[in-house]
Amino acid sequence: MRQAHIIYNPEAGNKELTKEKLMALIEAEGFKCGYSSTKEEDEITISDDTEFLIVAGGDGTVRKVAMKLLKGKWKGKNLPIALLPIGIANNIAKTLQIKGTPEAIIQSWNNSTIKKYDVGFVEDTPGADFFLESIGFGLFPYLMRKMSRIEEETSLSSDESLETATRMLLEIIPEYDAHNCDIRIDGHELSGKFLMVEIMNIRSMGPNLNLAPFAEVSDGMLDVILIPETQREKLASYIAARLKGSSNGNSFQMLPAKKIIINWHGKHGHADDEQLTLEKKTEMKIEVKRGALDFLVP
């Protein structure tokens, strides 16, 4: 009988999956399972015989667990992560093709394989020392700040939250001021005035925006998405199409990269779901570490 340990975010998604139901589903498939809640994040203890971690939550919960693993908090173990995506966007799970009911996903762990997962590392930037999804500047972190206020004042379901974020993004595109950015990608320099720059490790980010449709999490590369102010209408058209149900990927400039030095001349930034307030001309050095994490995939 395989030993697992679940880290469960009871506030994730629509809060429909209780601890009791979750543990019953896992144990019914023959797994022994320890339990921790994200509410006790600093007190989580993983037993020595644990073979893999179960993360039941959204992308933010995955980030918290990844931080512990990357910093060797659990006796230096690089334990594989099995995802139960019950968050709002679940961009990481979507990229890894983990989908279906909780019952079906749990059953798949008996025949799963290991998927290596790259991680982007950032030098000397408080709050942004690594990212699993993307790190970016401009329009999207500006949207994050606006959505934070809405979520504090209202109670939205997962679907409502995604739609609200997408609609608000469409509303702020015309008003957002583009910013200058200097960027060096594997030694090649370019600069310009951009609405947003996103450095992607996976295919989608935020409210399931498929900005890097060909991203591969184990190829040792990041994808730099550049949207200049000259493409304001093109971006608005893409977001409007998303609201109408289009699943097509974008056709914005996308450059593969291993090492990036970026200087964003604005104050809005983010690393995954963490908001960053930048000082003027903050220089970031970003590098991908290949296969830093392991995930269980069908």
**Where are the domains positioned within the chain?**
3-111, 121-291
Average of per-residue pLDDT across 91-116? 94
Percent of the chain surpassing pLDDT 70: 94
Residue 78 identity (one-letter amino acid) = N
Q: 105 pLDDT exceeds 90?
A: yes
**What per-residue confidence (pLDDT) applies to 48?**
87
218 close to 116: Cβ distance less than 8 angstroms: yes
Q: For residue 125, what are its two tokens?
A: 């930037």
Q: 149 pLDDT exceeds 90?
A: no
**What per-residue confidence (pLDDT) applies to 2?**
87
Q: What is the CATH number of domain 121-291?
A: 2.60.200.40
Average of per-residue pLDDT across 173-192? 95
Position of tokens 């093709």?
97
**What per-residue confidence (pLDDT) applies to 108?**
95
Average pLDDT across the chain, whole number: 90
Instruction: Report CA-CA distances (Å) from 12 to 38, 84, 208, 263, 280.
Output: 10, 11, 17, 34, 35
**pLDDT tens figures, 3-34:** 999 999 988 866 678 889 999 999 999 999 99
CATH architecture classification, 3-111: 3-Layer(aba) Sandwich (3.40)
Q: For residue 287, what are its two tokens?
A: 């590098």
**What per-residue confidence (pLDDT) applies to 66?**
94
**What per-residue confidence (pLDDT) applies to 64?**
92
- The runs of H, that is alpha helices, within the chain are 19-28, 59-70, 91-95, 102-108, 139-153, 158-172, 232-243
**pLDDT tens figures, 223-259:** 999 999 999 999 999 999 989 887 666 678 899 999 9
Coil, strand or helix: which one is 168?
helix
Coil, strand or helix: which one is 29?
coil
